[in-house]
A = this chain, B = another copy of it.
């Protein structure tokens, strides 16, 4: 249904390097995400998800992404992102004060994007 309003793509970049780094520690995990994410920052408006980011309700979220042609969301691993990566992004958003597993954050984010498209296009899904 969302394809009427926007193109939404989910790219899973989990690889062996990340898997191994996460068993070693925080710095290694964050570095492994930098290695794959930094080359992806070139185009569009880049939003990192981080528990210390800006919180907003679903309506504000929808207006926030409304006027942007291409928005890239980045979800970190078990240790989140380092400051270097967050500084390279245009904005950091928090989905919740609660910590979510990577896959849960992915599901929540997808539903918020879908909900936003419905809000912005007066589709009744959101209520």
Interface class of chain A by DSSP: loop
Q: Which of A2-10, A38-46, A82-90, A103-111 has 4 or more CB atoms under 8 Å from chain B?
A: A103-111
**A67 at interface, CB cutoff 8 A:** no
Q: Which residues of B contact A55 (CB under 8 A)?
A: 96-97
Chain A, interface residues (CB within 8 Å), range: 20 to 34
- Given the complex, which residues of B lie within 8 Å of A104, measured CB to CB? 107-108, 111
Segment of A11-19, A56-64, A68-76 engaged in the interface with chain B: A56-64
Closest to A114 in B: B101
In the assembled complex, the CB of A58 is this many whole angstroms from the nearest CB of chain B, namely 4
A1 vs B45: C-alpha distance when bound (angstroms) = 40
